[in-house]
Amino acid sequence: MGLCHELGQGVPQNDSMAAHYYQQADSQKDALYRLALLYMTGRGVSQNVNTAISLLKDAIEIAAGDNKFEFQCLKLASDLGDAESTNNLGILYEQGNHEVIQNYQLAIEYYWKAAQRGFENAWYNLGHCFEEGTGVPQNFLLLNYATCKPLITMQQSWGSKIDGARPRSKCRCSRKYYVIDYCITSRKF
């Protein structure tokens, strides 16, 4: 019924009614996906990107094993700015499956984007790629950087909160990785 109301098939087109029926069918992946689209665009409901992302993640859980649907949901959630979904797209591209062709370059790009959005596990995934030479030339300096970056970020954010902490400019880790940070952020790897 939700799709009928959304598209106006057999009933007058009404996005609010479509949202109502999709919410009633919240155990079905397609209903959650369609409801996420409504929240994403603000049709029939108040626009809320976070709710859309949450619904997409719920749809992925229900659709376990449906690789094509999972990819579609992850891509949309990533496009909406969700760092975890962006990282998971990187994993899909790194591993590949019968729906997603293995593509190491895209895996690196999605890991990088997820890391820039603050998802720390993406740094470790990048580090693994640099360690193994997956999609990039093997590079132990960048491996070291990628695996230490979350620690440096944590130290910098905690520095002002810890009594007696050294200022950021005097932190050896921050200075040591400044050049590497420049290379990574300007995509010189």
Angle between the N-to-C axes of helices 120-132 and 83-95, in degrees from 0 to 180, rounded to the nearest 10: 20
Q: What is the pLDDT of residues 118-170, one digit of tens each?
A: 898 888 888 888 777 777 766 556 655 656 665 555 444 444 444 443 333 43
Q: Cβ distance 54 to 39 under 8 Å?
A: no
Three-point CA angle 185, 186, 189, nearest 5°: 90
In the block, tokens 């979350």 appear at 150
Angle between the N-to-C axes of helices 140-159 and 178-185, in degrees from 0 to 180, rounded to the nearest 10: 110
**pLDDT number for residue 184:** 52
189: burial class by Cβ within 10 Å (0-12, 13-18, 19+)? Answer: middle
Q: Cβ distance 69 to 29 under 8 Å?
A: yes
Tell me: pLDDT of 13 over 80.
Answer: yes
Give 28's DSSP letter.
Answer: S
Taking the model in full, what pTM does it have?
0.71
- Tokens found for residue 79: 């496009």
The neighbour count for residue 96, using CB atoms within 10 Å, is 13
Residue type, 24: Q
